[in-house]
Amino acid sequence: MCTSLKKKIMLVFGTRPEAIKMCPLVNELKARSSIETLVVVTGQHRQMLAQVLEVFHVIPDYDLSIMKEKQSLFDITINVLDNLKGILEETNPDVVLVHGDTNTTFATSLACFYMKIPIGHVEAGLRTYNVYSPWPEEFNRQVVSMISSYNFAPTALAFQNLIDEKRNSEMIWITGNTVIDALKTTVKTDYSHSELVWASDCRLILITAHRRENLGTNMYNMFRAIKRVLDEHSDVKAIYPIHMNPLIRSAAKEIFTNNDKIHIIEPLDVLDFHNFLSKSYLVITDSGGIQEEAPALAKPVLVMRDTTERPEGVIAGTLKLVGTSEEVIYNEFTLLLNNKDVYDSMAQAVNPYGDGHASERIADILEFGEMRH
Ligand code: UD1
Ligand code: UDP
């Protein structure tokens, strides 16, 4: 009987940002002949995940299709655990790679822990040390660090967080963030889009918002502040590719209906979004990943959160935490639009998140036990 000597590496992911950061790694691993690569998507996101898979030409081997409208944290965790068990038993991977801090990541890691399958954590070591901010992501990523065998830290700060938590330094590598790998392939100088033509006579504000802890009052505060600023500036237009969560959609509809300064559009695929980002004047968001992309493109970001696990961008000067109070967001947004010195000091091209070779480094470690790039 002939048994394969290839190392079997499974990647499990389910949401848009995980897919954006894991697909470059999937393609890198698939190019390595000594590795057998298996891709499992949980389908925690349905349409927003499909958009990314299409851009990166990744076809999953398994799809758990767990998404439900207005799903709860219980729904995601239970359904991932339940559906993944049989696949892990059937395929018996040598290592399972997870990304970041979603419930897909947490539940997959828990399943692997129960089955004693080694876990590799991509984007390890990000911390706020407040388990309610972001919620539930800070809990998810801390738990994964307790049980993962390979820790791929994007920055020196993330590495240090893991060292401070007494994790074994021999199992932590600083690789850079795979989002920079993705960004290298998406941004084009000759890109055009009808929405950008609509905004071309103005300064373009790009908006996104989705954090679970911001649903409800905080989100209304955020939207009201943005509306006031848009109404007061004739040379500004906003594009808001809105998350598919129905709770966010109803809040945005309530505040922005009949407002001709803002276009609320369907989620952009990642190629479009990165190009919108590169053509924008500034970004206002509660997203995690955008805090990594914007510094690489020298775009100021107002982060509508009280904490960030990405202090590198704050230190670099590109990001500013503005919380979720209507008055503070209104004041900070107005200042950034009206004060060119403040704007220029934030619009610096500092990229603390790597050189675009993170996937190669992670693949090297998995293949050879060390980085060769
Ligand atoms: C999830 C992650 C969060 C990550 C975010 C990225 C958890 C707990 N949360 O939050 O860490 O930052 O993704 O966007 O893991 N929906 C659709 N179609 C889609 C995607 C979502 O209809 O393609 C709707 C569904 O009604 C779904 C709801 O949005 O129930 C919320 O999705 P969910 O994944 O639970 O939460 P996110 O806020 O997206
Ligand atoms: N993004 C996208 N289309 C959009 C909005 C965002 O492709 O319409 C990308 C963005 O470039 C970033 C990622 O989605 O890479 C961020 O995802 P999200 O804000 O949903 O999650 P988070 O990063 O907060 O976990």
Q: What one-character-per-residue DSSP string does 262-310 give?
A: EEEEPPPPHHHHHHHHHH-SEEEE--STHHHHHHHTT--EEE-SS--S-
Using CB atoms within 10 Å of the CB of residue 57, give its burial: 0 to 12 exposed, 13 to 18 middle, 19+ buried: exposed
Atom of ligand 2 nearest to the CA of 179: 15
Model pTM? Answer: 0.97
pLDDT of res. 281 = 98
Ligand with minimal distance to 245 CA: 1
Measured in Å, residue 6 CA sits from the centre of ligand 1 at 35
Q: Which residues have any ligand 2 atom within 6 Å of their CB?
A: 16-17, 20, 208, 210, 241, 267-268, 270, 273-274, 287-290, 293
Examine the residue annotation and report whether 137 is marked as an active-site residue of this protein. Answer: yes
Examine the residue annotation and report whether 243 is marked as an active-site residue of this protein. Answer: yes
Please identify which of the residues 164, 165, 212, 266 carries the catalytic annotation. Answer: 212
Atom of ligand 2 nearest to the CA of 267: 8
Return per-residue pLDDT of the chain as tens, 373 residues: 555 689 999 999 999 999 999 999 999 999 999 999 999 999 999 999 999 999 999 999 999 999 999 999 999 999 999 999 999 999 999 999 999 999 999 999 999 999 999 999 999 999 999 999 999 999 999 999 999 999 999 999 999 999 999 999 999 999 999 999 999 889 999 999 999 999 999 999 999 999 999 999 999 999 999 999 999 999 999 999 999 999 999 999 999 999 999 999 999 999 999 999 999 999 999 999 999 999 999 999 999 999 999 999 999 899 999 999 999 999 999 999 999 999 999 998 789 999 999 999 999 999 999 888 7
Atom of ligand 1 nearest to the CA of 70: 30
Pocket residue to mutate for ligand 2, from 279, 287, 305, 307, most atoms within 8 A of Cβ: 287
Ligand with minimal distance to 179 CA: 2
Q: What one-character-per-residue DSSP string does 25-72 give?
A: HHHHHHT-TTEEEEEEE--SSSHHHHHHHHHHT---SEE-----TT--
Instruction: Cis check for the bond before 136: say yes or no (omega within 30 of 0).
Output: yes
Examine the residue annotation and report whether 123 is marked as an active-site residue of this protein. Answer: yes
Measured in Å, residue 348 CA sits from the centre of ligand 1 at 31
Examine the residue annotation and report whether 210 is marked as an active-site residue of this protein. Answer: yes
Ligand with minimal distance to 209 CA: 2
Measured in Å, residue 190 CA sits from the centre of ligand 1 at 32
CA distance 260 to 248: 19
Pocket residue to mutate for ligand 2, from 44, 123, 290, most atoms within 8 A of Cβ: 290
Q: Residue 302: beta bridge partners?
A: 284, 320
Q: What one-character-per-residue DSSP string does 175-230 give?
A: ---HHHHHHHHH--TT---HHHHHTTTSEEEEEE---GGGTTHHHHHHHHHHHHHH
CA distance 229 to 333: 7
pLDDT of res. 305 = 97
CA distance 148 to 259: 48
Tokens of 150: 């390979």
Measured in Å, residue 49 CA sits from the centre of ligand 2 at 11
pLDDT of res. 185 = 86
